[in-house]
Amino acid sequence: MLCKMGVGANSLLIRAVGAIIVLLGARFLYRGYLQRSRVRALKAQGIPILPHSLLFGHLRLLGDWRADNPPDANFYSFHTWLIKNCRKYFPDLDFPPPVVYLDLWPVEMQLALVFDPVAASQFTQTPSLPKLKLSTDFLVPLTSGLDIVSNEGIEWKTWRSRFNPGFSQRNLIAMLPALIEEVSIFASQLESLAGSEGKWGSVFRLDEKTINLTFDIIVRASLGMRLNEQQRAESSPLKIALLDQIRIMNYGANASRALPIGRMPWHNAAARVNNKKIKDLVMPQIQSKLQAESNDSQVKTIVDLAIKYIDKDDPSASREKPNAEFIDKLIANLKAFLFAGHDTTAATICFMAKLLQDNTECMAKVRAEHDAVLGPDPSEAAAVLTQSPHLLYALPGDFTRTAPGIQFNSAGFIDSLPDGRLGHVAIGSRSRTEPQLLAEAQRVHYPSDGHVPEGDPLHPVNNNAWAPFSIGPRNCIGMELALIELRIFAVLTARRFDIGEAWDKWDELQGSKATPNAKIDGERLYSSGDGIVHPKDGMPIHVRLREHSPAV
Ligand code: HEM
Ligand SMILES: *[C@@H]1O[C@H](CO)[C@@H](O)[C@H](O)[C@H]1NC(C)=O
Ligand SMILES: *[C@@H]1O[C@H](CO)[C@@H](O)[C@H](O)[C@H]1NC(C)=O
Ligand SMILES: *[C@@H]1O[C@H](CO)[C@@H](O)[C@H](O)[C@H]1NC(C)=O
């Protein structure tokens, strides 16, 4: 009897599960059908579409890209790859159309890659379209969507304006001595790693060092805490917890994975543990800021300046009795800053060092400029700059633009197109999949000569193709900070060191694990990694001291 009942219940359960699976399967296929049809509809309107299969969408193209590139190539390199292979997929075009649709379902949501600055400005300025869900989902384990990177509308506006003063040029100039101090530590470490008597030193990964530097800087600038990642034997608990969190975030966003498997319940549990650790580590510092009397003559951190708004949402709140939601949002944003503010800048420093070293003419210009503005003795540069911060802005050539056709993009990745055409717009900033984008897509497709008459809604807002930090209201809040870091780095290293890639030494160290054939465009140094760009293998380099002979 009992036994029979058991079987009956079991078979009912099996049928129920079966029905759910069938329903889920049907929903899955229907979604796929919708995705594919959208792209077909665009094509029917005459918009250039990459070769598209009803079954595979553009997945074959993704396969082509993967086959052509090292397995750890970052998806950001897809853009430049498509430019090079344009004729293969768009037989009538030398350069991809302004907007390229990519239907990667079910591996990824549909993406639109923007290859044209005018089209890009349509997405970020008039108006700024909502951000790609892919990029805001990425931050959820870290911030639960409470940060300005993820927010939209009034919530974004309110908090962005609370943080703007901390990131302003004025405030950063006040912080300059602290920033110079951190980069000086970096420079003295570089000196200790340099070979003696003008010889190359031993090989190490530059990106590890620049990440420690930029992490020290963002924690100090936002919280006033000094972690000394650059000098301590082991990473600080804060850095360990944040890096572990980023590892977990990557599970949901891995463009190179074979199956669309997202984050699992145990990932979410681990994320909660990390979030608690991070909160416990930053809360004492926030507490002490809440308790301290506001002192106008002190250098203000980013958090100091945001705490001033403590009673704006809730008039009963005060420094003694803060509102819990305010504190949660403050911490969520702080975490977003620590995340967005370190490896982007660290990777950019690495690629800048490579570009300067590769472009001898450009490097000579930069060194001469430093001699002229800061005096001929490189060892005095930190002191001169600390005394006269404004000299940072007296360096006439913006070295990020001096070499023709070279641009930094949002992932700290640099594009070099011979004719200076825009080669790459960051997918994070410029690919927006919301329905508006699809509506916009039909308008964006204008004749390839780009001539749009004044008064037309597509008339260019500006022709600024240099947009590594994005343009418009949702541009990078940390742009000024990042540019200052890049400038100080250049000032304190360019004249004192030669920084050379050291792949031979690196391969030797790797032994049988060496990958000497992994190259993009013939370069061993390329953008790798799943999420944020990291220079391949952390950019193995060696360093030698230059003679202190100022250019006359
Ligand atoms: C070289 C370094 C950096 C690059 C290339 C870069 C690039 C960008 C880009 C392209 C965006 C726009 C993203 C989009 O529209 O989806 C952005 C946004 C943002 N960045 Fe950066 N960034 C860098 C450094 C930093 C630093 C140092 C911070 C420090 C906190 C930071 C914090 C942010 C934040 C909070 C946003 C969101 C702003 C908003 O939506 O209001 N970034 N960044
Ligand atoms: C910097 O970071 C790397 C990797 O995160 C670590 O291995 C290294 O020991 C850190 N510290 C120093 C002083 O380089
Ligand atoms: C991303 O996918 C690749 C290939 O499937 C895999 O080797 C890598 O470990 C994945 N990374 C993460 C963080 O899941
Ligand atoms: C404010 O800070 C300055 C510099 O740290 C210090 O000299 C001064 O005593 C402080 N004033 C108050 C009221 O705490």
Q: What tens digit of pLDDT does each residue of 87-135 get?
A: 999 999 887 887 788 888 887 666 777 776 666 666 666 666 666 666 6
Annotate 395-438 with three-state secondary structure.
CCCCCCCCCCCEEECCCCCEEECCCCCCCCCCHHHHCCCCHHHH
pLDDT value of residue 552: 40
Nearest to 100 by CA among 412, 428, 429, 430: 430
Q: Whose CA is nearest to atom 9 of ligand 1?
A: 469
Q: What is the CATH number of domain 116-192+202-545?
A: 1.10.630.10
Ligand 1 atom nearest the C-alpha of 338 is 30
Ligand 2 center–CA 213 separation, angstroms? 10
Is residue 374 within 8 Å of residue 385, measured between CB atoms?
yes
Determine the Cα–Cα distance for residues 259 and 273; give it in Å rounded to an integer: 27
pLDDT value of residue 179: 97
Longest dimension (CA), the chain: 102
Higher local confidence (pLDDT), 365 or 190 = 190
Ligand 1 center–CA 341 separation, angstroms? 7
Q: What tens digit of pLDDT does each residue of 196-207 get?
A: 888 999 999 999
Q: Ligand 3 pocket, 519 CB below 6 A?
A: no
Measured from the Cβ of residue 65, the count of other Cβ atoms closer than 10 Å reads 16
H-type alpha helices, 252-301? 265-291
CA dihedral sign, ordered 350, 352, 358, 363 = negative
CA dihedral sign, ordered 210, 215, 218, 220 = negative
User: What band does 471 get if pLDDT is binned at 50, 70 and 90?
Assistant: confident
Determine the Cα–Cα distance for residues 54 and 33; give it in Å rounded to an integer: 8
CA dihedral sign, ordered 376, 381, 383, 384 = positive
Determine the Cα–Cα distance for residues 198 and 544; give it in Å rounded to an integer: 6
Is residue 359 within 8 Å of residue 426, measured between CB atoms?
no
pLDDT value of residue 358: 83
pLDDT value of residue 295: 67
Q: Scanning the structure block, which residue is given the tokens 């970052």?
A: 74
Is residue 154 within 8 Å of residue 486, measured between CB atoms?
no
pLDDT value of residue 294: 66
The two structure tokens encoding residue 292: 């301290």
CA dihedral sign, ordered 80, 83, 84, 90 = positive
Q: Whose CA is nearest to atom 27 of ligand 1?
A: 341
Q: Whose CA is nearest to atom 7 of ligand 3?
A: 257
Determine the Cα–Cα distance for residues 524 and 518; give it in Å rounded to an integer: 6
Residue percentage of the chain with pLDDT more than 90 = 47
**Residue 184, pLDDT above cutoff 60:** yes
